[in-house]
Amino acid sequence: MPELQPIYVAGQWRAADSTGTFQAANPATGETLPDAFPISAWPDCDAALTAASAAFAELQLLPPARIAEFLRAFATKIEGQAEVLCATANRETGYPLKPRLAEAELPRTVNQLRQAADAAEEGSWQNVVIDSKQNIRSHLTALGPVVVFGPNNFPFAFGSASGGDFAAAIAAGCPVVAKANTSHPATTKLFMEAAAAALAETKLPTATVQLIYRTSHADGERLVADPRVGAVAYTGSRNAGLKLKAAADAVGKPIYVELSSVNPVVFLPGALAERSEKLVDEFVGSCLMGTGQFCTNPGLLVFLKGDATDAFLSAAGKKFAAAPAGALLSSGVADSLRRGVEVLQQAGATVVADSGAVTQPGFRCPNTLLRVSASQFVKNSHALQTECFGNESLAVVADDLPQLLAVLDQLEGNLTGCIYSDTTGKDDAHYAPIAAKLRLRVGRLLNDKMPTGVAVTAAMNHGGPFPATGHPAFTAVGIPAAIKRFGMLACYDNVREPRLPAALQNKNPTGKMWRSVDGAWSQGDVA
List, by residue number, the catalytic residues. 258, 295
Contact window for a second copy (CB under 8 A) among 21-29, 73-81, 89-97, 241-249? 241-249
Q: How far is the CB of 253 from a second copy (least distance, A)?
A: 7
Q: Is 519 in the site for a second copy (CB under 8 A)?
A: yes
Q: How far is the CB of 156 from a second copy (least distance, A)?
A: 22
Considering the complex, state which of residue 227 and residue 359 has its C-beta at the smaller distance from a second copy.
227
Considering the complex, state which of residue 192 and residue 225 has its C-beta at the smaller distance from a second copy.
225
Q: Do residues 133 and 142 touch, judged by C-beta distance below 8 A?
A: no
What is the footprint of a second copy within residues 127-166 (CB under 8 A)? 129-131, 134, 136-138, 140, 143-144
Q: How far apart are CA 88 and CA 225, in angstroms?
A: 33
Q: How far apart are CA 293 and CA 105, in angstroms?
A: 14
Q: Do residues 408 and 378 touch, judged by C-beta distance below 8 A?
A: no
Q: Is 424 in the site for a second copy (CB under 8 A)?
A: no
Contact window for a second copy (CB under 8 A) among 40-48, 264-272, 348-356, 519-527? 519-527
Q: Is 239 in the site for a second copy (CB under 8 A)?
A: no
Q: How far is the CB of 254 from a second copy (least distance, A)?
A: 6
Cα 35 to its chain centre, rounded Å, is: 26
Q: How far is the CB of 138 from a second copy (least distance, A)?
A: 5
Write the DSSP symbol of residue 457.
S
Closest CA to 298 of 340, 350, 262: 262
Would you give the end-to-end CA distance of the chain in angstroms?
A: 68
Q: How far is CA 60 from CA 141, 158, 190, 266, 495, in A?
A: 9, 25, 27, 48, 18
Q: How far is the CB of 388 from a second copy (least distance, A)?
A: 21
Considering the complex, state which of residue 251 and residue 273 has its C-beta at the smaller distance from a second copy.
251
Q: Is 357 in the site for a second copy (CB under 8 A)?
A: no
Considering the complex, state which of residue 123 and residue 254 has its C-beta at the smaller distance from a second copy.
254
Among 13, 22, 42, 514, binds a second copy (CB under 8 A): 514
Q: What is the dihedral of CA 94, 99, 100, 101, to 10 degrees?
A: 80
Considering the complex, state which of residue 84 and residue 436 has its C-beta at the smaller distance from a second copy.
436
Q: How far is the CB of 507 from a second copy (least distance, A)?
A: 17
Applying CB under 8 A, the site for a second copy has a residue count of 72
Cα 160 to its chain centre, rounded Å, is: 10
Contact window for a second copy (CB under 8 A) among 14-22, 173-181, 364-372, 428-436? 428-436
Q: Is the peptide bond before 155 cis (omega within 30 degrees of 0)?
A: no
Considering the complex, state which of residue 140 and residue 315 has its C-beta at the smaller distance from a second copy.
140
Closest CA to 456 of 110, 121, 200: 110
Q: How far apart are CA 435 and CA 438, in angstroms?
A: 5
> How many other C-beta atoms lie within 10 A of the C-beta of residue 99?
10
Q: How far apart are CA 195 and CA 63, in angstroms?
A: 19
What is the footprint of a second copy within residues 193-222 (CB under 8 A)? none
Considering the complex, state which of residue 67 and residue 180 has its C-beta at the smaller distance from a second copy.
67
Among 74, 413, 430, 452, binds a second copy (CB under 8 A): 413
What is the footprint of a second copy within residues 79-138 (CB under 8 A)? 129-131, 134, 136-138
Q: How far is the CB of 441 from a second copy (least distance, A)?
A: 10
What is the footprint of a second copy within residues 27-56 (CB under 8 A)? none
Helices (H), ranges, 81-122: 82-93, 106-122
Q: How far is the CB of 437 from a second copy (least distance, A)?
A: 9
For 425, counting Cβ atoms within 10 Å of its Cβ (0-12 exposed, 13-18 middle, 19+ buried), the class is exposed
Q: Is 435 in the site for a second copy (CB under 8 A)?
A: yes
What is the footprint of a second copy within residues 253-272 (CB under 8 A)? 253-254
> Would you mind telling me the total number of residues written for the chain in this entry?
527
Q: How far apart are CA 507 and CA 504, in angstroms?
A: 8
Q: How far apart are CA 475 and CA 45, in angstroms?
A: 27
What is the footprint of a second copy within residues 438-477 (CB under 8 A)? 439-440, 443-449, 451, 455, 457-461, 463, 465-467, 469-475
What is the footprint of a second copy within residues 485-504 (CB under 8 A)? 485, 487-496, 499
- Contacts for 390 with CB less than 8 Å, ≥ 6 apart: 291, 292, 293, 297, 328, 333, 334, 337, 365
Among 15, 97, 200, 436, binds a second copy (CB under 8 A): 436
